């Protein structure tokens, strides 16, 4: 299997070189690096990366804008990298399509674990055929990785789709945040588990009539989340 291709975008040369050296030398990925948005987009078109590690603060644009621009092109996985840790910044990154969020300073071990987990999810994008799931007006099609509510397509990021599909495949089952991180993110998460809450909130805003009173993805206080959808109509072959 060809090594995964990663684009690192950070205006801090020390951080950029550290990540480049670690991922290319110790993890054996194909890595390119850019210091600004213009260079990043040019490299993006040439490299067609599997993953972009993207700093929020860039000299000619923001990581949020660049995230949107890149995902409109290929739907690439994005890991935001920033010194910011406020919840509003985390939420904004996920709203713009980021799949993960790593706050500086970080350990290279943690970076390697997260990169490996994201790339493992990407390799699973062509799985053995699975049945589509229909709950009322909600259709989740793992073959096309599309979600529709009624006749309206619901635009989810790759990680939002993975999380919703996992919960919907296990209706009624209560999952702790740590379990969801292991099952969906596929690694032992060493950061703040609120990353699960942020993604759940994003999905609710997209599929629930009232995200403040969700009927499908329910919070089990003190434990985690469960999927309780309307009466299931059928499973369609996708």
Question: Which residues lie across from 225 on neighbouring strands?
Answer: 175, 219
Question: Which residues lie across from 226 on neighbouring strands?
Answer: 218
Strand boundaries in 72-181, DSSP class E = 77-82, 100-103, 131-135, 138-141, 146-149, 152-154, 175-176
Q: What is the 3-state secondary structure (H, E, C) of 48-78?
A: CCCEEEEECECCCCEHHHHHHHHHHHHCCEE
What single DSSP character describes residue 142?
Answer: T
- Report, in angstroms and rounded to the nearest whole number, the Rg of the chain calculated over CA atoms: 18
Helices then strands, each counted (H, E), the chain: 8, 13
- Mean pLDDT per block of 10 residues along the chain (238 residues) reads 92 95 92 97 95 94 92 86 73 79 87 86 54 88 90 86 93 93 73 79 89 88 87 46
What single DSSP character describes residue 2?
Answer: P
Rounded Cα distance between 100 and 154, Å, is 20
Strands 138-141 and 146-149: antiparallel
| pLDDT for residue 230 | 61
Whether the Cβ atoms of residue 161 and residue 97 lie closer than 8 Å to each other: no
pTM to 2 decimals? 0.71
Backbone angles phi, psi at 170, to 5 degrees: -130, 60
Rounded Cα distance between 136 and 44, Å, is 40
Strands 51-55 and 5-9: parallel
Sorted by where each starts, the structural domains of the chain and their CATH numbers stand as 5-123 (3.40.50.2300), 131-237 (1.10.10.10)
Whether the Cβ atoms of residue 216 and residue 138 lie closer than 8 Å to each other: yes
| pLDDT for residue 14 | 95
What single DSSP character describes residue 26?
Answer: I
């Amino acid at each position: 299997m060809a090594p995964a291709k990663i684009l690192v975008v950070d205006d801090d040369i020390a951080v950029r070189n550290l990540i480049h050296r670690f991922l290319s030398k110790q993890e054996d990925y194909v890595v390119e690096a850019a210091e600004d948005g213009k260079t990043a987009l040019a490299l993006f078109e040439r490299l067609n990366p599997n993953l972009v590690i993207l700093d929020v603060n860039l000299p000619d644009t923001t990581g949020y804008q660049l995230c949107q621009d890149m995902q409109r092109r290929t739907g690439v996985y994005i890991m935001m990298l920033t010194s910011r840790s406020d919840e509003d910044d985390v939420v904004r990154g996920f709203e713009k399509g980021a799949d993960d969020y790593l706050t500086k300073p970080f350990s290279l071990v943690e970076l390697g674990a997260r990169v490996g987990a994201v790339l493992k999810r990407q390799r699973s994008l062509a799985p053995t055929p699975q049945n589509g799931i229909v709950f009322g007006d909600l259709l989740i099609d793992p073959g096309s990785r599309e979600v529709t509510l009624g006749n309206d397509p619901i635009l989810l990021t790759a990680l939002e789709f993975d999380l919703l599909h996992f919960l919907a495949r296990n209706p009624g089952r209560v999952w702790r945040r740590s379990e969801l991180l292991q099952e969906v993110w596929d690694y032992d998460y060493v950061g703040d588990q609120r990353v699960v809450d942020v993604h759940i909130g994003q999905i609710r805003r997209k599929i629930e009539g009232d995200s403040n009173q969700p009927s499908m993805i329910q919070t089990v206080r003190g434990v985690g989340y469960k999927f309780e959808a309307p009466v299931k109509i059928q499973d369609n072959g996708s």
